[in-house]
Amino acid sequence: MERSGAGATTAAASAPRAREARRAGITAFIGTTIEWFDFYIYGSASALVLGTIFFPEVTPALGTLAAFATFWVGFLARPLGGVVFGHFGDRFGRKKALIITLVMMGGATFCVGLLPTYAQIGAAAPVLLVCLRMVQGVAMGGEWGGAVLIATEYAPPGKKILYGAFAQQGSPVGNLLATLAFLGIAHLSDSAFASWGWRLPFLVSAVLVLVGLFIRLRLTETPEMRAVLASEQRSKLPIKDVLGRYPVLVALGVGAGTAGVAITYVKTTFALSWATEELAFSRSSFLTVITIALVVQVCAQPLGAVLASRVDLKRAVLWMLLPEIVLLPAMFALVSTGSMPLAILGMALATVPHATYYAALAGLLAQVFPVEVRYTAISLCYQLCTTLFAGTAPIACQFLLARTGSIVPVVVLGLVYVLITLVCAVALIRRSGALSRRATGA
């Protein structure tokens, strides 16, 4: 039987919208992959080399701690980026903000690759390193919220969590590319690695940024934001409205992101330093372990968005995160054996819970706040979380290890991250009305 004229018209109209939604999701994925690659290569460099060449006058352990401190600087700057670009994106549109963040991130990353060392210019070297890391942090702070909204505000009804996962997928893929970049140069001699090898990933990132810029310039503004701009319903000061109207939701949003962001840095940045300095792993061998775990994350992560879209949202969160309480301690126990197969097994298994949860996080936050302040609100939640928990994770873990000589306190800290997330995510779902038989995408 032929479709009616009205049905054919509806189908014809929905096809272009579906194509636009897919294009927006792919654009968000590619853009965040490039930005996260730039951000993550700094973490790998911090664990492997920055302490030696920028803080040579302290012990190796303190040098690593100092390098992790510069790593944290990027996270300190991220809430500022979230507020500034959130304001810009809520007032004038998502596209313009995302183009600026990409140029900022790419420029700062490339300059790190050109930076003179302490041996060449003295104390000015770490100062410049900190400044460039701050620029990276501001850019990343503005990037995440805009990328999530590009995907979710194009999403068909009921599919915000699924489409938000496009932007989230950029994080593990960017991390994987960053790890592969350092794995590719890990076989260099120590002198070559320290003198010029570590610079290559930073310099090569310029090519990726140009690709991302080309893609984003072709992007159109999201339908929901176009409606706000056309109706002149823009918030005059989004940050004031967010903090004045939704302080509890923001606080819960900060806590809800903890496991999704902090455990990644416990398992990669800190674990890379611990395994290569305290255990018997070489740079290349443990980078291989991390690479395999990231491949697992890339494959498993989207399943979290699918699960959160098909079952009760609170139940999905519990199913995704509760296994981490067992798997995270098991990971550290297996890595501490010094066996590469066991380390791979432990890292891969412990990756699945927080990775699947991370896929659903963006869509969950995006459906909590109204469109006219959404960029600012979700950026503030996510970036404050990364500052308080993710950026401090390598420093806290390194401090606990140095202070106690045991990995047990590090494991306990990781479990605290999981518990904070469980409590806040469940409370956020209940308070915002997002809990239903299915994730609605409203």
Mean pLDDT of 400-421: 94
pLDDT tens digits for 45-90?
887 778 788 877 767 777 777 777 777 787 788 889 889 998 888 8
Mean pLDDT of 312-334: 93
Residue 271 · residue 407 · CB < 8 Å: no
Q: CA-to-CA distance for 408 and 5, rounded, in angstroms?
A: 67
Q: Averaging pLDDT over each range in 141-150, 414-423, 424-433, which range is the top one?
A: 414-423
Mean pLDDT of 222-234: 78
Mean pLDDT of 100-110: 90
pLDDT bucket at 437, cuts 50 / 70 / 90: very low
Among the listed residues 203, 186, 50, 75, the one whose alpha carbon sits nearest the alpha carbon of residue 134: 75
Whole-number average pLDDT of the chain: 85
pLDDT bucket at 252, cuts 50 / 70 / 90: very high
Instruction: State residue 340 phi and psi, 5-degree precision.
Output: -65, -45
Q: Is the predicted pLDDT of residue 439 greater than 80, yes or no? A: no
Token digits for 210?
A: 């140009």
Q: What is the dihedral of CA 404, 409, 410, 412, to 10 degrees?
A: 180
Q: What angle separates helix 94-114 from helix 199-217, to the nearest 10 degrees?
A: 160
Q: What is the pLDDT of residue 10?
A: 41
pLDDT tens digits for 373-383?
999 999 999 99
Q: CA-to-CA distance for 155 and 194, rounded, in angstroms?
A: 46
- Ranges of H-type helices in 4-59: 5-45, 51-54
Q: CA-to-CA distance for 15 and 12, rounded, in angstroms?
A: 6
Distances (CA, A) of 406 to 264, 310, 333, 410: 20, 42, 12, 8
pLDDT tens digits for 344-371?
999 999 999 999 999 999 888 888 888 8
Q: End-to-end distance of the chain based on CA atoms, in angstroms? A: 34
Q: Is the predicted pLDDT of residue 5 greater than 70, yes or no? A: no
Q: What is the pLDDT of residue 438?
A: 41
Among the listed residues 153, 185, 173, the one whose alpha carbon sits nearest the alpha carbon of residue 25: 153
Q: What is the pLDDT of residue 307?
A: 92
Other C-beta atoms lying within 10 Å of the C-beta of residue 317: 26
Query: What are the structural domains of the chain?
Result: 20-432 (1.20.1250.20)
Mean pLDDT of 176-191: 86
Residue 300 · residue 352 · CB < 8 Å: yes
Among the listed residues 309, 16, 59, the one whose alpha carbon sits nearest the alpha carbon of residue 163: 309
305: helix, strand or coil: helix
pLDDT bucket at 4, cuts 50 / 70 / 90: very low
pLDDT bucket at 433, cuts 50 / 70 / 90: low
pLDDT bucket at 316, cuts 50 / 70 / 90: very high
pLDDT bucket at 16, cuts 50 / 70 / 90: low
Angle at 286 between CA 281 and CA 290, to 5 degrees: 160
Q: What is the pLDDT of residue 214?
A: 87
Among the listed residues 221, 176, 227, the one whose alpha carbon sits nearest the alpha carbon of residue 201: 176
- Ranges of H-type helices in 93-159: 94-114, 118-121, 124-152
Q: State the SS3 of the chain.
A: CCCCHHHHHHHHHHHHHHHHHHHHHHHHHHHHHHHHHHHHHHHHHHHHHHHHHHCCCCCHHHHHHHHHHHHHHHHHHHHHHHHHHHHHHHHHCHHHHHHHHHHHHHHHHHHHHHCCCHHHHCCHHHHHHHHHHHHHHHHHHHHHHHHHHHHHCCCCCCCHHHHHHHHHHHHHHHHHHHHHHHHHHCCCCHHHHHHHHCHHHHHHHHHHHHHHHHHHHCCCCCHHHHHHHHHCCCCCCHHHHHHHHCHHHHHHHHHHCHHHHHHHHHHHHHHHHHHHHCCCCCHHHHHHHHHHHHHHHHHHHHHHHHHHHHCCHHHHHHHHHCCHHHHHHHHHHHHCCCCHHHHHHHHHHHHHHHHHHHHHHHHHHHCCCCHHHHHHHHHHHHHHHHHHHHCCHHHHHHHHHHHHCCCHHHHHHHHHHHHHHHHHHHHHHHHHCCCCCCCCCC
More confident residue, 278 or 412: 412
Q: CA-to-CA distance for 322 and 121, rounded, in angstroms?
A: 49
